[in-house]
Amino acid sequence: MMNIVENFDLFAPRLINKQELISSGHRACSGCAEVLAVRLMCKALGENTVIASATGCMEIISSMFPTTAWQVPWIHVAFENAAAVASGVEAGLKALRKKGKIDDRYVKVVGMAGDGGTMDIGFQALSGAMERGHDMIYVCFDNEAYMNTGIQRSSGTPMGASTTTAPAGKVSIGQKTWKKNMPEIMVAHGIPYVATACPSYPLDFIRKVEKAKSIQGPSYIHCFSMCPTGWRSPSHTAVSMGRLAVETGVFPLYEVENGHYRLSPDMPKKLKPVKSYFKPQGRFRHLTPDQIEMIQEKVTVEFGKLVEKAKFLKTGNE
């Protein structure tokens, strides 16, 4: 008899919504993993969704006037206020439903932006929405720089990456600061659900969005979105690059539900060296062995901290 657990991948396609809520024909770059992530997000969310989207790559590629790729209600807002608009929509729907002006159908409101629109420009709006407890999901699509305006560094740019505003050279390593740990900042807000995700692991990503959708209150998902253009890597490597980021511990997959940490099943028991992740990317090609080792040490330490948090839950020592 077939083992249904071992052969889950054979059945998984039947469990995924096949309706496309962001259509083909958009203007995303070849090999863009971010638009793949948005496609998966929409499949998990379904039709009863309103999306507030900040200026960024996904706005540029999907809404060239007078056309749109979106098959759900979608609002383009400024760089800094996607979370504020999403929280306003959520409050408005709640008020209209209470007054009987709309039916009782449950509609999930989603705010979305890139790393710049989330971690830098839009941080205050996001923090406020989470602190107020709005029933909404916020998804950060993190490609680690301001890609749609010229590959400028953001606080999501990793140490040592070369960008147009943090270029590597004789006197510079490139980006000189460590990547901001946005998921942990969201955990510190005390919200019900925080998760990291990557489109290279589609079933994990869909499951996390579905869980966020089912939760009453604010949820935050930080999605790692590979960008071949900004990372100077071949367009056909977008999925494999995402897997390398996870396999090396550069971007670990986990979720935090009501303060409890859980590593995703796709996380390997033993990490690959970070140099295997850096090698295919032009933005890291200038790094010396000593600099790579410095970054390796940081990745190892941070991943160890995460494992200890997840282990703490498993052993029942809460």
Asked if the model's pLDDT at residue 10 lies above 50, the reply is no
Asked if the model's pLDDT at residue 1 lies above 70, the reply is no
- The answer to whether the CB of 120 falls within 8 A of the CB of 94 is no
Half-sphere exposure of 212 (CA within 13 A, CB side): 34
What's the CATH number for 27-314? 3.40.50.970
Per-residue pLDDT of 121-152, as tens digits, reads 999 999 999 999 999 999 999 999 999 999 99
Asked if the model's pLDDT at residue 317 lies above 50, the reply is no
pTM of the model: 0.92
Would you say how long the chain is, in residues?
318
CB atoms within 10 A of CB 173: 18
The CA distance from 256 to 141, in Å, is 18
Position of tokens 């680690």?
144
**Cα dihedral 63/68/73/77 (nearest 10):** 10
- The answer to whether the CB of 252 falls within 8 A of the CB of 194 is no
- pLDDT class of 12 with cuts at 50, 70, 90: low
- Strands 136-142 and 219-224, sheet pairing: parallel
- The answer to whether the CB of 255 falls within 8 A of the CB of 262 is yes
Report the pLDDT averaged over residues 76-82.
96
SS (H, E, C) 16-55: CCCCCCECCCCCCCCCCHHHHHHHHHHHHHCCCEEEEEEC
Dihedrals φ, ψ of 116, to 5°?
-65, -45
| Sequence spans of domains, the chain | 27-314
Q: Write 258-264 long-range contacts (CB < 8 A, 24+).
A: 258/192, 258/193, 259/187, 259/190, 260/313, 260/318, 261/306, 261/309, 261/310, 261/312, 261/313, 262/310, 262/313, 263/306, 263/307, 263/310, 264/201, 264/204
Crossing angle of helices 123-132 and 82-98, in 10° steps, is 30
Dihedrals φ, ψ of 37, to 5°?
-65, -40
pLDDT of res. 312: 62
| Of the listed ranges 7-11, 88-92, 248-252, the one predicted with least confidence | 7-11
Amino acid at residue number 173: I
The CA distance from 89 to 77, in Å, is 12
Per-residue pLDDT of 185-219, as tens digits, reads 999 999 999 999 999 999 999 999 999 999 999 99
- pLDDT class of 8 with cuts at 50, 70, 90: very low
Per-residue pLDDT of 281-306, as tens digits, reads 999 999 999 999 999 999 999 999 99
Q: Which residues are CB-neighbours of 246 under 8 A, at least 6 positions away?
A: 198, 200, 201, 224, 252, 253, 266, 267, 268
Position of tokens 């606080």?
155
User: Burial level of 269, CB count in 10 A (0-12/13-18/19+)?
Assistant: exposed
pLDDT of res. 13: 52
What average pLDDT does the chain have?
Answer: 93
Angle (CA) 225 160 304, round 5°:
70
The CA distance from 312 to 305, in Å, is 11
Half-sphere exposure of 73 (CA within 13 A, CB side): 10
The CA distance from 210 to 45, in Å, is 7
